[in-house]
Amino acid sequence: MSQADLFKSKLLQAKENSLDLSNNSIGNKEAIALAEMLKDDTSLTRLDLSNNSIGNKGAIALAEMLKDDTSLTRLDLSNNSIGDNGAKALAEMLKDDTSLTRLDLSNNSIGDNGAKALAEMLKVNKSLEWLILSKNSIGDNGAKALAKMYNDSTSLVWLILFDNPIGDKGKIALEIMTRMTLKRLVDDPDPMVREKAIALAEIFSKFKKVKRSVEKSHRRKNKSKTKSGPKRSSNRKNY
């Protein structure tokens, strides 16, 4: 069976308008063909392309296809290789998108430039609620850009950045973002949103207390080692 026939077969078998093409060795060529095939589809709401070999060219083709799409709500591109250029193409598409609510780009070799492009997108996008960027190469500059724009976003609730090489400056920016977000949610007129926000705030507060306690314990141990100094060898001889 050819790749095109496989796509058509999977599309016909799609349940609840969800197409799962994960773990199918899909590269740029196949992603471009898939994008062409889905260009006129108006029923698909979920597309899973995780654990494939899609690079920036494939991501650019998918972004072009999604420009006119009004039905897709979830796109999973985790564990591919779209890089900064692929992230930039998707960010550009998302500026005008009104349907996508969840985008998973974890483990895609995305660096600060890709993160900055996604941050710029958050200024104007009004539908995205989940942006998952774990296990990439995002540093302080990318983290700070995302944190700044996250607070300006009118839709984004979850920004996931686990396992990125973010330093102290980026972590401080993200911590400030978390505090501001929780404060905004605690003041939400919806009682259910307020209740969840208060629960999250308590978890965050406990985490901070545990973190401070661990850091304090480490400082005490290091101080104790410094005071005692290295053990001196005795020159006394035993007769």
* Residues 25 and 73 placed together within one structural domain of the fold: yes
* Residues 144 and 53 placed together within one structural domain of the fold: yes
User: Hey, what amino acid is at 100?
Assistant: L
pLDDT at 76: 98
Give 151's pLDDT tier (boundaries 50, 70, 90): confident
236 pLDDT more than 50: no
Q: Which residue has the higher pLDDT, 70 or 84?
A: 84
User: Could you say which of 104, 135, 166 is where a domain stops?
Assistant: 166
* Residues 141 and 175 placed together within one structural domain of the fold: no
* Residues 103 and 184 placed together within one structural domain of the fold: no
Is residue 3 in a domain?
no
pLDDT at 233: 47
Q: What does the alpha-carbon distance between residue 38 and residue 31 come to, in Å, rounded to a whole number?
A: 10
pLDDT at 80: 98
DSSP annotation string for 119-166: HHHHTT-SS--EEE--SS---HHHHHHHHHHHTT-SS--EEE--S---
Question: 2-11, 58-67, 193-202, 219-228 — which is least confidently predicted?
Answer: 2-11
Assigned token pair, 202: 């308590």
Is residue 218 in a domain?
no
Using alpha carbons, list the distances in angstroms from residue 127 to 101, 113, 238. Answer: 6, 23, 81
Assigned token pair, 8: 């058509």
For residue 57, the enclosing domain spans 14-166
13 pLDDT more than 60: no
- Note the pLDDT tens digit of each residue in 160-201: 898 999 998 888 888 777 776 666 666 667 776 667 666 656
Give 238's pLDDT tier (boundaries 50, 70, 90): very low
Is residue 231 in a domain?
no
223 pLDDT more than 60: yes
* Residues 56 and 138 placed together within one structural domain of the fold: yes
Is residue 157 in a domain?
yes
* Residues 152 and 181 placed together within one structural domain of the fold: no
Give 4's pLDDT tier (boundaries 50, 70, 90): low
User: Mean pLDDT of all residues in the chain?
Assistant: 82
* Residues 113 and 201 placed together within one structural domain of the fold: no
Helix axes 56-66, 83-94, angle to 10 degrees: 10
The DSSP secondary-structure symbol of 63 reads H
Is residue 223 in a domain?
no
Q: Which residue has the higher pLDDT, 228 or 122?
A: 122
Domain count, the chain: 2
* Residues 131 and 191 placed together within one structural domain of the fold: no
User: Could you say which of 131, 151, 166 is where a domain stops?
Assistant: 166
Is residue 184 in a domain?
yes
HSE-CB at 66 with a 13 A cutoff on CA atoms is 27
Q: What does the alpha-carbon distance between residue 202 and residue 212 come to, in Å, rounded to a whole number?
A: 15
pLDDT at 90: 97
Helix axes 28-38, 56-66, angle to 10 degrees: 10
Q: What does the alpha-carbon distance between residue 108 and residue 77 come to, in Å, rounded to a whole number?
A: 8
Give 54's pLDDT tier (boundaries 50, 70, 90): very high
110 pLDDT more than 70: yes
pLDDT at 39: 87
